[in-house]
Structure 1
């Protein structure tokens, strides 16, 4: 497994056009591999995420079973004439192997929190419709519901640090809720619109099942993984923070 970080040159019009469509980024990421990994659930898949940290720093992260070649992205959305390398790839396997129950990490996850609804006029047994969670409270609840099966638990705040309102029990914040609507290339005779709500979570977690947690990091969490959702990254927790 590999973790790759690529800095996007947002001063270039081609880069801004690329970032304007998750479908284009998906295609560019897939183009980094001579043989794209299988998407049938038989093994780890390619995950990606865009972090817009500051107006001058936009980073693309990719987790993949094989090492990617991002030369085409450097030419399209990087600094092709720079002496600096266009991306950095880290061997991820040793890091994953070193994860143990009880480890505490800071994390970032971009996800697509959804639930299934049934309109009032539909009967029991009729198909449900997938809908996005709209509020931070429901988005947090979506993640908390999945933590056990994903091999981690969100760290709870000490009582003295909690604010007197619902949703402040955990070391977890929701930011950058982005509703997206974009088009995929036409399938046969019709063009399909894709609508997703992309949300970023920052927080602190504790590993409860190392094997399940490794799977979460390499297979992703939730829906819309092809469109920049599902990738969780970790950062060390500073002492006393």
Structure 2
């Protein structure tokens, strides 16, 4: 059974600063709240810094979690109020139906695959020159336009579409298509070590992009698969969690 959790993070604590600065450390902290082995099921998480003084950590897990350790290390263990909330995710999944609209938020790592980068790094050039056939290179999209295009060209296989913005319906752009009800709210380049080694291969660089807007369900089964399995690469590092909020017909 899937569960969606929201945990309050206190950014002034030393342990919190470490978690907020390192997706690898945050991933380990998230896995520490789950009783099963990490390889048994996919766990998705996302950090929402809407309020930098009270960032929220969202986690989607297949089993019921316990976030006591995170509250003690990086929250307000002695303060009043709910330190974290855990909700059964099944009721939301049951609301998915063709034509139903939801507000959404997704932090993803938009990438493209290529056999030969335009400006290869030293390590990439070495792989190109060694003459051994390997899989292609995964490169991150760096411009907002490319990142937005990456999202909009994939929604059909994710089980939804993004309708035109309500106040712009009937107004066509350069390609005679109305602007979609989507926006990029955060673009962040993250660079960190994958492990406790110094090899360049263990260095991770990704472009985390937060998309927000309105979607319309076209295929509930496909959308359920993406909600539970995540979207795009770098899921262990805070990317891929798509969250929904129901909208009324008037909205």
Give the TM-score normalised by structure 2.
Answer: 0.85
| 3-state SS of paired residue (2:105) | strand
Q: Distance in 2 between matches of 1:193 and 1:182?
A: 6
Q: Distance in 1 between matches of 2:169 and 2:240?
A: 32
Compare the two structures and name the one with the higher helix fraction: 2
Aligned to 1:119: 117
Say whether the 8 Å CA contact 2:173–2:179 is kept in structure 1. Answer: no
**Superposition deviation, residue 194 in structure 1:** 0.8
1:104 and 2:101 are equivalent in the alignment: yes
1:204 and 2:214 are equivalent in the alignment: yes
Structural mapping, 1:1-241, within 5 Å? 1-38=2-39, 45-117=42-114, 118-119=116-117, 127-157=135-165, 159=168, 169-186=179-196, 190=199, 192-237=202-247, 240-241=250-251
Provide Cα deviations, 1:192-233, integer angstroms capped at 9, x if missing partner: 111111000001000000011111111000000000000011
Say whether the 8 Å CA contact 1:37–1:65 is kept in structure 2. Answer: no
Q: Distance in 2 between matches of 1:197 and 1:106?
A: 23
| 3-state SS of paired residue (1:67) | coil
With over 3 angstroms needed to count, the CA separation of the structure-2 counterparts of 1:45 and 1:155, relative to structure 1, is same
Q: Distance in 2 between matches of 1:55 and 1:82?
A: 19
Give the TM-score normalised by structure 1.
Answer: 0.88
Number of residue pairs matched by the alignment? 236
Larger mean CA deviation between 88-97 and 164-173 belongs to 164-173
Structure 2, unaligned runs of 5 or more: 119-124
Aligned-residue Cα RMSD (Å) equals 2.5
With over 3 angstroms needed to count, the CA separation of the structure-2 counterparts of 1:240 and 1:8, relative to structure 1, is same
Q: Distance in 2 between matches of 1:231 and 1:45?
A: 11
